[in-house]
C-alpha cells in the first residue's frame, strides 16, 4: 500500500503564499513514491486545483457539511467540493470537535456523505491529554471509531483514518513511534472486526509530525502515512516528510 502524506493547512494561507507553496510541492513530488494531498481552506480550492493541474498532487478539503444541500448558511456540500476536483476531505478533526461541537454522530454522517459523493473522508480520532492521563485513551478512540463504523457499514474499507492525539497537535510534542503504533494497531484490529479489507485502510498519524521525526513514525507497521499541520506550510519541510515516506 502506498503511503499517504496529507497536508492540513488549517486556516492559513493567502493567494501569493499558496502559489509559491503549491508550485514548490508540485515540483518536489515529480517522482514521489507516495500519494500526496493538500487540504486547503475552501476559498482556495479553485486556486490550488489550477496550480496542481497535470501533477500528482491531490486536492483535499478540511471539512464538509453532513447535509446534501439547502438552508445551511455557511456550509459547503460534498457535491460542491467534488466540482472542484476534491479527492479527500478531513472529517472530525479535533479542532472541529472542540470548537464547533462536532459529535461522533455528526462525524460519522460527514464520512457517509463524503463517501456517497466519491470523496475519501480522512476521519480523525484521538484523545485529549486529560483523557490520556485518566487512562481512557483506548476507550475514547474506540468510541470515536465505532460511530463511524456503525454508520458506514462495509463502506468503512474506503475511508482513511488519522490518529491524532490532541496533546500532540501544534504542541511540538509528538507521540513516540511506539505510542502511535500501539494505537494504530488497536484501530486496525477494530477495522478488521468490521471489514475483511481492513489491511487496505490507510491509518495516518498526525500531531507535530515533522522532517526530523517522520521517518521513525512512518517506519511503524501500522502507520500508513501522515496528516501534517504546521510542517505542511513550508515546502522544504513537507517535501522532507514526503521523502521519508518513500
Ligand atoms: P501539527 O502538525 O501542526 O501538529 O497539526 C497536526 C494536525 O492537526 C493535522 O491535522
Report pLDDT digits (tens) over 89-146: 999 999 999 999 999 999 999 999 999 999 999 999 999 999 999 999 999 999 999 9
Name all residues whose Cβ lies below 6 A of ligand 1. 8, 93, 164, 169-170, 206-209, 227-231
In the reported structure, the alpha carbon of residue 59 is separated from the centroid of ligand 1 by a whole-number distance in angstroms of 17
Tens digit of pLDDT for each residue in 53-105? 999 999 999 999 999 999 999 999 999 999 999 999 999 999 999 999 999 99
State which ligand 1 atom lies nearest to the alpha carbon of 170.
4
Q: Which of 206, 209, 226 to mutate to test the pocket of ligand 1 (most atoms within 8 A of CB)?
A: 206
Per residue, what are the HEC states of the chain?
CCCEEEEECCCCCCHHHHHHHHHHHHHHCCCCCCEEEEEECHHHHHHHHHHHCCCCCEEEECCCCCCCCCCCCCCCCHHHHHHCCEEEEEECCHHHHHHCCCCHHHHHHHHHHHHHCCCEEEEEECCCHHHHHCCCHHHHHHHHHHHHHHHHHHHHHHCEEEECCHHHCCCCCCCCHHHHHHHHHHHHHHHHCCCCCHHHCEEEEECCCCCCCHHHHHCCCCCCEEEECHHHHCHHHHHHHHHHCC
Q: Tell me, in angstroms, the distance from the centre of ligand 1 to residue 205's CA.
A: 9
CA 196 to ligand 1 center in whole angstroms: 30
The pTM (predicted TM-score) of the whole model is 0.98
**Nearest CA owner, ligand 1 atom 2:** 229
C-alpha distances (whole Å) from 223 to each of 12, 112, 126, 168 are 26, 24, 15, 16
Which atom of ligand 1 is found nearest the CA of 93? Answer: 10
Q: How far apart are CA 142 and CA 160, in angstroms?
A: 15
Q: Which domains, and CATH codes, for the chain?
A: 4-245 (3.20.20.70)
Q: Which pLDDT score is estimated for 246? A: 87
Give the residue numbers annotated as catalytic, written as ranges. Answer: 93, 164
Query: How far is ligand 1, taken at its centre, from the CA of residue 76, in Å?
Result: 22
| Alpha carbons 110 and 65: distance in angstroms, whole number | 6
Amino acid at each position: 500500500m502506498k503511503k499517504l502524506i496529507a497536508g492540513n493547512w488549517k486556516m492559513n494561507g493567502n493567494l501569493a503564499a499558496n502559489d509559491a507553496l503549491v508550485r514548490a510541492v508540485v515540483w518536489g513530488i515529480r517522482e514521489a513514491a507516495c500519494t500526496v494531498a493538500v487540504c486547503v481552506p475552501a476559498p482556495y480550492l479553485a486556486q490550488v486545483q489550477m496550480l496542481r493541474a497535470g501533477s500528482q498532487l491531490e486536492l483535499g478539503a478540511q471539512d464538509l457539511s453532513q447535509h446534501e444541500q439547502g438552508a445551511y448558511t455557511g456550509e459547503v456540500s460534498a457535491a460542491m467540493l467534488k466540482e472542484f476536483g476534491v479527492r479527500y476531505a478531513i472529517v472530525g478533526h479535533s479542532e472541529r470537535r472542540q470548537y464547533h461541537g462536532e459529535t461522533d454522530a455528526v462525524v460519522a454522517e460527514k464520512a457517509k456523505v463524503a463517501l456517497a459523493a466519491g470523496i475519501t473522508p480522512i476521519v480523525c480520532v484521538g484523545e485529549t491529554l486529560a483523557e490520556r492521563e485518566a487512562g481512557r485513551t483506548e476507550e475514547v478512540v474506540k468510541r470515536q471509531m465505532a460511530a463511524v463504523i456503525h454508520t458506514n457499514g462495509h463502506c468503512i474499507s474506503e475511508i482513511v483514518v488519522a490518529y491524532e492525539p490532541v496533546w500532540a497537535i501544534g504542541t511540538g510534542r509528538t507521540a513516540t513511534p511506539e505510542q502511535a503504533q500501539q494505537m494504530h494497531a488497536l484501530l486496525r484490529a477494530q477495522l478488521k472486526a468490521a471489514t475483511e479489507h481492513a489491511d487496505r485502510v490507510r491509518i495516518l498519524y498526525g500531531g507535530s509530525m515533522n522532517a526530523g521525526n517522520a521517518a521513525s513514525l512512518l517506519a511503524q507497521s501500522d502507520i500508513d502515512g501522515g496528516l501534517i499541520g504546521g510542517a505542511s506550510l513550508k515546502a522544504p519541510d513537507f517535501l522532507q516528510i514526503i521523502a521519508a515516506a518513500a
